[in-house]
Structure 1
């Protein structure tokens, strides 16, 4: 093994650990949320997904997306970081759902954790219509939830 290979492996493992820690933290937050709160996150994540899809980024097929557009995860991560810096925690969390999903498409070590994330998100599926109505009443935003229970290909248990 050459020096450059050793350096690459070191940073790759470091990245894996950092991403896994972020995902563990996200999962802990989801575990503390009620089913109704999860449903609101699902509605917002669906809204984010529809925006991404309109821009040509199909996050429901993360493996194909990462082949066709390898920069998608980096771009989406930058968006999530910007939202977090702005203090928009709701938009950050909704975007983080897709950041973690895309990361798992390129890092096998994250796939089990992402499957757990989607298992947590499924808790909200039965309450999505109520969440949409609550969001509409509170924020005035209409969200298309017709496919809110769609799961990303290859990342769910």
Structure 2
């Protein structure tokens, strides 16, 4: 009985902590201008495609309606977080933020109680959609090479289940 109570208590604390982190991220997005959100959306697309190409994430993960078991999603989230830390370490903050978009998206998909926050997050990100193509063009110019064609085909991708309630 005590073990069940303890497990429930720890699970509830973890959920509250997760919700607090996602809320903080959404709050940051709310205070971000539309053009800067366009940069984040573009970076998120590039980072996601690169993580799929390099095997950090399975291809098409964020396009599926049926997801892997929670444990596998947790491992994938840890991989994304590691990539975000590496990007931040080399001072690629916009790319690190783009990676965190996917980390928090995965968390919201994995925990149904957080889906409303995930929809809110994507509602904020969607404000940047009108500026994302310009940001991607600027990124290609800065890098001196084109992005993978999937970036251009999939930059508008919103994970099923996290569509904002327009």
Fold in common (TM above 0.5): yes
Matched, 1:154 2:125: no
Q: Could you tell me whether the CA contact under 8 Å between 1:65 and 1:72 is conserved in 2?
A: no
Q: Distance in 2 between matches of 1:17 and 1:122?
A: 26
Residue 86 of structure 1 and its aligned partner are, at CA, apart by 4.9
Matched, 1:145 2:117: no
Q: Could you tell me whether the CA contact under 8 Å between 1:128 and 1:145 is conserved in 2?
A: no
Partner in structure 2 of residue 92 of structure 1: 96
Q: 1:112 to 1:88 in 2, by over 3 A?
A: same
Partner in structure 1 of residue 24 of structure 2: 25
Which residue, 66, 69, 73 being the options, matches 1:67? 69
Q: Could you tell me whether the CA contact under 8 Å between 1:59 and 1:98 is conserved in 2?
A: no
Which residue, 75, 78, 84 being the options, matches 1:80? 84
Structure 1 stretches lacking a partner, 5+ long: none
Residue 81 of structure 1 and its aligned partner are, at CA, apart by 3.7
Q: Distance in 2 between matches of 1:63 and 1:104?
A: 13
Q: Distance in 2 between matches of 1:30 and 1:121?
A: 7
Residue 66 of structure 1 and its aligned partner are, at CA, apart by 3.0
Partner in structure 2 of residue 109 of structure 1: 113
Q: 1:64 to 1:78 in 2, by over 3 A?
A: farther
Q: 1:152 to 1:11 in 2, by over 3 A?
A: same
Greater CA deviation, 47-56 or 18-27?
47-56
Q: Distance in 2 between matches of 1:25 and 1:156?
A: 19
Q: 1:50 to 1:3 in 2, by over 3 A?
A: same
Q: Secondary structure at the match of 1:60?
A: helix
Per-residue Cα deviation, 1:86-132 (whole angstroms, up to 9, x for no partner): 54322221111111111112211211111011011111111222111
Partner in structure 2 of residue 44 of structure 1: 43
CA RMSD of aligned residues (A): 2.2
Q: Could you tell me whether the CA contact under 8 Å between 1:63 and 1:106 is conserved in 2?
A: no
